[in-house]
Amino acid sequence: MQSVKQISDFEVQELVRKYKMAGFVVFELLNDIPDQNTLLLISKRLNLGKPFVPSIYSSTQKIYERTGLNIIKVNDGSHRAFQTNNDQKIHCDGTIEVLGKIKTSILLCAIPAAVGGETIIFNSVAAFYDLLENDNSRYIASSLLDMQALKRVAVNGNNEEYIGPAFAIKNGEIISRFSLDNTCDWDYSFENVKLLKEAYALLVDTIVPNSPFYIETKLKCSQGIIMANDKISHGRKGYIDKYFKREMIRGLFEKDLE
Protein backbone atom coordinates (compact mmCIF):
# COMPACT_ATOMS: atom_id res chain seq x y z
CA MET A 1 0.00 0.00 0.00
CA GLN A 2 1.23 3.52 -0.79
CA SER A 3 0.05 5.09 2.46
CA VAL A 4 -2.32 4.09 5.25
CA LYS A 5 -4.03 7.49 5.05
CA GLN A 6 -4.73 6.93 1.37
CA ILE A 7 -5.52 3.23 1.39
CA SER A 8 -8.41 2.47 -0.93
CA ASP A 9 -11.50 0.42 -0.17
CA PHE A 10 -10.26 -2.11 -2.73
CA GLU A 11 -6.93 -2.51 -0.87
CA VAL A 12 -8.79 -3.03 2.41
CA GLN A 13 -11.03 -5.62 0.77
CA GLU A 14 -7.97 -7.43 -0.61
CA LEU A 15 -6.31 -7.49 2.81
CA VAL A 16 -9.45 -8.93 4.36
CA ARG A 17 -9.92 -11.46 1.53
CA LYS A 18 -6.38 -12.82 1.83
CA TYR A 19 -6.61 -12.81 5.63
CA LYS A 20 -9.83 -14.83 5.54
CA MET A 21 -8.38 -17.27 3.02
CA ALA A 22 -5.09 -18.02 4.82
CA GLY A 23 -5.62 -16.82 8.40
CA PHE A 24 -2.97 -14.13 7.93
CA VAL A 25 -1.85 -11.51 5.45
CA VAL A 26 1.48 -9.74 4.91
CA PHE A 27 1.46 -6.08 3.89
CA GLU A 28 4.08 -3.47 3.02
CA LEU A 29 4.02 0.30 3.58
CA LEU A 30 5.73 2.29 0.85
CA ASN A 31 5.42 5.85 2.16
CA ASP A 32 4.76 5.56 5.90
CA ILE A 33 7.12 5.48 8.86
CA PRO A 34 6.72 2.09 10.60
CA ASP A 35 5.87 3.40 14.06
CA GLN A 36 3.12 3.11 16.65
CA ASN A 37 0.99 5.80 15.05
CA THR A 38 1.05 3.96 11.73
CA LEU A 39 -0.06 0.69 13.31
CA LEU A 40 -2.89 2.53 15.06
CA LEU A 41 -3.95 4.05 11.74
CA ILE A 42 -3.97 0.60 10.16
CA SER A 43 -6.12 -0.84 12.94
CA LYS A 44 -8.51 2.12 12.69
CA ARG A 45 -8.86 1.70 8.93
CA LEU A 46 -9.60 -1.99 9.48
CA ASN A 47 -12.20 -1.17 12.18
CA LEU A 48 -10.41 -3.22 14.82
CA GLY A 49 -11.07 -0.82 17.67
CA LYS A 50 -8.65 0.03 20.46
CA PRO A 51 -5.66 -2.22 21.20
CA PHE A 52 -6.25 -4.76 23.95
CA VAL A 53 -3.86 -4.85 26.91
CA PRO A 54 -3.93 -8.17 28.82
CA SER A 55 -4.79 -7.71 32.48
CA ILE A 56 -1.49 -9.24 33.61
CA TYR A 57 0.33 -6.31 31.98
CA SER A 58 -2.05 -3.48 32.92
CA SER A 59 0.16 -2.38 35.80
CA THR A 60 3.51 -3.52 34.41
CA GLN A 61 5.91 -0.82 33.30
CA LYS A 62 8.13 -1.07 30.22
CA ILE A 63 6.00 -3.77 28.58
CA TYR A 64 3.07 -1.89 27.02
CA GLU A 65 3.06 1.69 25.80
CA ARG A 66 0.36 4.24 26.57
CA THR A 67 -1.00 3.58 23.09
CA GLY A 68 -1.89 0.03 24.12
CA LEU A 69 0.79 -1.35 21.81
CA ASN A 70 4.06 -2.95 22.83
CA ILE A 71 7.57 -2.75 21.41
CA ILE A 72 9.47 -6.00 20.95
CA LYS A 73 13.24 -5.48 21.09
CA VAL A 74 16.23 -6.47 23.21
CA ASN A 75 16.61 -4.23 26.25
CA ASP A 76 17.43 -4.54 29.93
CA GLY A 77 14.17 -6.31 30.76
CA SER A 78 13.69 -10.02 31.34
CA HIS A 79 10.53 -10.79 29.37
CA ARG A 80 11.51 -13.76 27.26
CA ALA A 81 9.34 -12.85 24.28
CA PHE A 82 9.41 -9.05 24.27
CA GLN A 83 12.85 -8.13 25.60
CA THR A 84 15.29 -10.83 24.48
CA ASN A 85 16.48 -12.30 21.19
CA ASN A 86 15.56 -15.88 22.12
CA ASP A 87 13.59 -18.10 19.82
CA GLN A 88 9.92 -18.33 20.70
CA LYS A 89 7.92 -21.49 20.09
CA ILE A 90 4.51 -21.22 18.52
CA HIS A 91 1.70 -19.76 20.59
CA CYS A 92 -1.47 -17.72 20.45
CA ASP A 93 -1.28 -14.26 22.02
CA GLY A 94 -3.05 -13.86 25.35
CA THR A 95 -1.50 -16.49 27.61
CA ILE A 96 -4.25 -16.57 30.24
CA GLU A 97 -7.13 -15.09 28.26
CA VAL A 98 -10.20 -17.18 27.46
CA LEU A 99 -9.95 -18.93 24.10
CA GLY A 100 -11.08 -16.52 21.40
CA LYS A 101 -10.70 -13.36 23.50
CA ILE A 102 -7.97 -11.88 21.27
CA LYS A 103 -9.04 -12.36 17.68
CA THR A 104 -6.43 -10.35 15.78
CA SER A 105 -2.70 -9.70 16.21
CA ILE A 106 -0.67 -7.26 14.14
CA LEU A 107 3.13 -7.15 13.94
CA LEU A 108 4.80 -4.22 12.18
CA CYS A 109 8.54 -4.37 11.49
CA ALA A 110 10.40 -1.13 12.24
CA ILE A 111 13.89 -2.69 12.14
CA PRO A 112 14.59 -6.26 11.00
CA ALA A 113 17.18 -8.49 12.67
CA ALA A 114 20.60 -8.71 11.06
CA VAL A 115 20.42 -12.50 11.21
CA GLY A 116 17.39 -14.68 11.96
CA GLY A 117 14.17 -13.48 13.55
CA GLU A 118 11.88 -15.18 11.04
CA THR A 119 8.20 -15.27 11.95
CA ILE A 120 6.77 -18.79 12.11
CA ILE A 121 3.16 -19.37 11.13
CA PHE A 122 1.31 -22.60 11.95
CA ASN A 123 -2.27 -23.02 10.79
CA SER A 124 -3.30 -24.92 13.90
CA VAL A 125 -7.02 -24.88 13.05
CA ALA A 126 -6.42 -26.44 9.63
CA ALA A 127 -4.06 -29.05 11.11
CA PHE A 128 -6.63 -29.93 13.80
CA TYR A 129 -9.44 -30.12 11.24
CA ASP A 130 -7.30 -32.48 9.16
CA LEU A 131 -7.03 -34.81 12.16
CA LEU A 132 -10.79 -34.67 12.74
CA GLU A 133 -11.44 -35.58 9.11
CA ASN A 134 -9.29 -38.70 9.37
CA ASP A 135 -11.12 -41.78 10.66
CA ASN A 136 -7.91 -43.03 12.27
CA SER A 137 -7.26 -39.88 14.31
CA ARG A 138 -10.70 -38.32 14.89
CA TYR A 139 -11.27 -39.81 18.32
CA ILE A 140 -7.74 -39.06 19.48
CA ALA A 141 -7.88 -35.46 18.21
CA SER A 142 -11.14 -34.77 20.05
CA SER A 143 -9.19 -34.85 23.33
CA LEU A 144 -7.86 -31.39 22.40
CA LEU A 145 -11.42 -30.08 22.93
CA ASP A 146 -11.41 -31.15 26.57
CA MET A 147 -11.81 -28.37 29.13
CA GLN A 148 -8.49 -29.37 30.72
CA ALA A 149 -6.54 -29.82 27.49
CA LEU A 150 -4.21 -26.84 27.90
CA LYS A 151 -2.87 -25.09 30.98
CA ARG A 152 -1.01 -21.83 30.37
CA VAL A 153 0.79 -19.86 33.06
CA ALA A 154 1.91 -16.22 32.98
CA VAL A 155 5.59 -16.80 33.72
CA ASN A 156 6.46 -13.09 33.76
CA GLY A 157 3.72 -12.05 36.16
CA ASN A 158 2.31 -13.55 39.35
CA ASN A 159 1.96 -17.01 37.81
CA GLU A 160 -1.69 -16.46 36.91
CA GLU A 161 -3.03 -19.39 34.96
CA TYR A 162 -5.89 -20.41 32.70
CA ILE A 163 -6.96 -23.98 32.04
CA GLY A 164 -9.21 -24.66 29.10
CA PRO A 165 -9.49 -26.38 25.74
CA ALA A 166 -6.76 -26.11 23.13
CA PHE A 167 -9.47 -25.93 20.46
CA ALA A 168 -13.19 -25.19 20.55
CA ILE A 169 -16.09 -24.95 18.13
CA LYS A 170 -17.86 -21.59 18.30
CA ASN A 171 -20.57 -20.38 15.93
CA GLY A 172 -19.79 -23.27 13.63
CA GLU A 173 -16.07 -22.45 13.41
CA ILE A 174 -13.04 -24.06 15.00
CA ILE A 175 -11.00 -21.67 17.11
CA SER A 176 -7.58 -22.30 18.63
CA ARG A 177 -5.12 -21.36 21.32
CA PHE A 178 -2.73 -24.20 20.55
CA SER A 179 0.67 -23.23 21.92
CA LEU A 180 4.05 -24.79 22.66
CA ASP A 181 5.92 -21.88 24.25
CA ASN A 182 7.26 -21.61 27.79
CA THR A 183 3.86 -20.58 29.17
CA CYS A 184 2.42 -24.06 28.52
CA ASP A 185 2.15 -26.89 31.05
CA TRP A 186 1.21 -29.80 28.83
CA ASP A 187 2.35 -32.35 31.40
CA TYR A 188 -0.52 -31.22 33.66
CA SER A 189 -3.00 -31.91 30.87
CA PHE A 190 -1.43 -35.21 29.80
CA GLU A 191 -2.16 -36.51 33.30
CA ASN A 192 -5.78 -35.38 33.22
CA VAL A 193 -7.02 -35.96 29.68
CA LYS A 194 -7.15 -39.38 28.04
CA LEU A 195 -5.37 -39.63 24.66
CA LEU A 196 -4.22 -36.00 24.84
CA LYS A 197 -0.54 -36.93 24.64
CA GLU A 198 -1.19 -38.86 21.43
CA ALA A 199 -3.20 -35.97 19.92
CA TYR A 200 -0.47 -33.52 20.89
CA ALA A 201 2.15 -35.67 19.16
CA LEU A 202 0.08 -35.88 15.97
CA LEU A 203 -0.18 -32.08 15.78
CA VAL A 204 3.47 -31.45 16.65
CA ASP A 205 4.49 -33.77 13.82
CA THR A 206 2.94 -31.29 11.35
CA ILE A 207 4.91 -28.27 12.63
CA VAL A 208 7.79 -28.76 10.22
CA PRO A 209 9.02 -27.18 6.99
CA ASN A 210 7.20 -28.55 3.91
CA SER A 211 4.08 -29.18 6.01
CA PRO A 212 0.97 -27.70 4.36
CA PHE A 213 0.21 -26.00 7.69
CA TYR A 214 3.62 -24.37 8.27
CA ILE A 215 5.37 -21.34 6.80
CA GLU A 216 8.23 -19.02 7.73
CA THR A 217 8.63 -15.41 6.65
CA LYS A 218 11.10 -12.68 7.56
CA LEU A 219 9.53 -9.25 7.64
CA LYS A 220 11.52 -6.39 6.17
CA CYS A 221 11.40 -2.79 7.39
CA SER A 222 7.89 -1.38 6.86
CA GLN A 223 6.37 -4.81 6.33
CA GLY A 224 3.76 -6.17 8.69
CA ILE A 225 1.62 -9.22 9.25
CA ILE A 226 -1.99 -9.42 10.40
CA MET A 227 -2.90 -12.75 12.00
CA ALA A 228 -6.13 -14.41 13.10
CA ASN A 229 -4.98 -15.07 16.65
CA ASP A 230 -7.90 -17.42 17.34
CA LYS A 231 -7.02 -19.64 14.37
CA ILE A 232 -3.29 -19.27 13.68
CA SER A 233 -0.41 -20.06 16.04
CA HIS A 234 2.81 -18.12 15.54
CA GLY A 235 6.35 -17.90 16.87
CA ARG A 236 9.78 -16.64 15.93
CA LYS A 237 13.29 -17.88 15.42
CA GLY A 238 16.14 -16.57 17.54
CA TYR A 239 18.08 -13.70 16.06
CA ILE A 240 21.27 -11.64 16.14
CA ASP A 241 21.45 -7.85 16.16
CA LYS A 242 24.45 -5.97 14.75
CA TYR A 243 24.33 -2.23 14.16
CA PHE A 244 20.67 -1.79 15.08
CA LYS A 245 18.31 -3.69 17.37
CA ARG A 246 15.45 -5.60 15.79
CA GLU A 247 12.24 -3.75 16.60
CA MET A 248 8.71 -5.01 16.11
CA ILE A 249 5.55 -3.13 17.07
CA ARG A 250 2.67 -5.32 18.18
CA GLY A 251 -1.03 -4.70 18.65
CA LEU A 252 -3.69 -7.09 19.96
CA PHE A 253 -7.37 -6.64 19.17
CA GLU A 254 -10.62 -8.21 20.32
CA LYS A 255 -12.28 -7.74 16.94
CA ASP A 256 -11.82 -9.75 13.76
CA LEU A 257 -11.31 -8.38 10.27
CA GLU A 258 -14.65 -8.10 8.47
- The CA-based dihedral angle spanning residues 60, 64, 65, 67, taken in that order and rounded to the nearest 10 degrees: -120
Tens-digit pLDDT profile for the chain (258 aa)?
A: 778 888 999 999 999 999 999 999 999 999 899 999 999 999 999 999 999 998 777 666 677 889 999 998 987 666 666 778 899 999 999 999 999 999 999 999 999 999 999 999 999 999 999 999 999 999 999 999 999 999 999 877 678 899 999 999 999 999 999 999 999 999 999 999 999 999 999 999 999 999 999 999 999 999 999 999 999 999 999 999 999 999 999 999 999 998
Report pLDDT for 142: 98
Report pLDDT for 60: 61
Find the radius of gyration of the CA atoms of the chain.
Answer: 18
Report pLDDT for 79: 66
SS3 55: helix
CA-to-CA dists, residue 152 to 147, 162, 188, 200, 253, angstroms? 13, 6, 10, 15, 20
Report pLDDT for 80: 65
13-26 pLDDT, tens per residue?
999 999 999 999 99
**Cα–Cα distance measured from residue 86 to residue 89, given in angstroms and rounded to the nearest whole number:** 10
Name the residue ranges covered by the structural domains of the chain. Answer: 4-88+102-113+217-230+241-253
Asked if 7 and 43 touch (Cβ cutoff 8 Å), the reply is no
